[in-house]
Structure 1
Amino acid sequence: MNNRAISIVGECSNVGKTTLIKNLLKIFSKEGLKVGVVKHHHREFDFDREGKDSYIFSKSGASCVKMVSPNRVITVENLNYEKSLNDVLKTMTEYDFILVEGYKWENLDRIEVYRTGYSTEIISEKDKLIAIVSDIEHNLNIDQFNPNEYEKIAEKIKDYFNV
């Protein structure tokens, strides 16, 4: 698996994974780091709009549609299978590192987010844990951070990737 990526995982939804990533990205971008993000989605999604040329191309059978503007590129691949995380990561070579939200079943090192009232246990294998972000202390010999310690968590990640 890719050694330029780590997962941000949690036992369930609403534990703070997206909030953590959002705040880390603000820190990393201010420091000039290029960070990619991969988000797993359990259901089908479509962010194109009916009637737009890109939508027409996609619905007409294009395997891939790229939409390009002066400041953005969006790639839509129409697949009849779920692309592996490893294949997705292979396409993301121009980033300092990649944060992956979800994919808790993959063999990536990870930061686990635990939130009282939502989480019931730490779900990650201990040898894969880089750190725990939690509102309570866990009896584990692993770096632990409070959910709002974004700067400290960012430093931990930069140390992990040697950037």
Structure 2
Amino acid sequence: MSSDVHCPSIGPGLDWNRKLDCSDNPDQVRVLRHHYLNEFGHHISLSQVLKDYSETCTIHHVVDNQPQTFHGQDGARQAFLQVFNMVPHDLSHQIEFEHIAIDHNHAQVVWKAEIPSENKMIRGMDSFAFDKNNRIVHQSVMALSVPMNKDARGDVEDSGVCVDKF
């Protein structure tokens, strides 16, 4: 992977640079930044995000152990709204990217989002495959809501459920 690709931060509280291992394709970095900016509260229109998906894309979702498969841009819209409605609309200070790898038309993003108002954390992993035009042709989403626990110091920890080692 190239270390000379500039990967700008995606916004306040979203530390993209710290976990990003850039590829030789900055256009795919742009597509993923666009995807996550909209998903986590930066109000990019859904129609703009859907332009990043191929008309023939396939999305496999396993959200809270409920598997679904979506096809095409209509399916991408349904899948996106399902995850978007799972979390508060402005997670800009509560989302953490744990791992981002983009290489040779494939990407993997491991993330977690704390939702203190519901005393839960969502842990997720998304994988992507891109076509020659850098549009998403395949996406797999795994997301699981887990209760947050407080330790004796009052610090929030996840419940020990591990979903980032698939």
TM-score range (shorter-chain normalised) is under 0.3
| Higher strand proportion | 2
Rg larger for? 1
Higher relative contact order, structure no. (Cα contacts within 8 Å, ≥ 6 residues apart) = 1
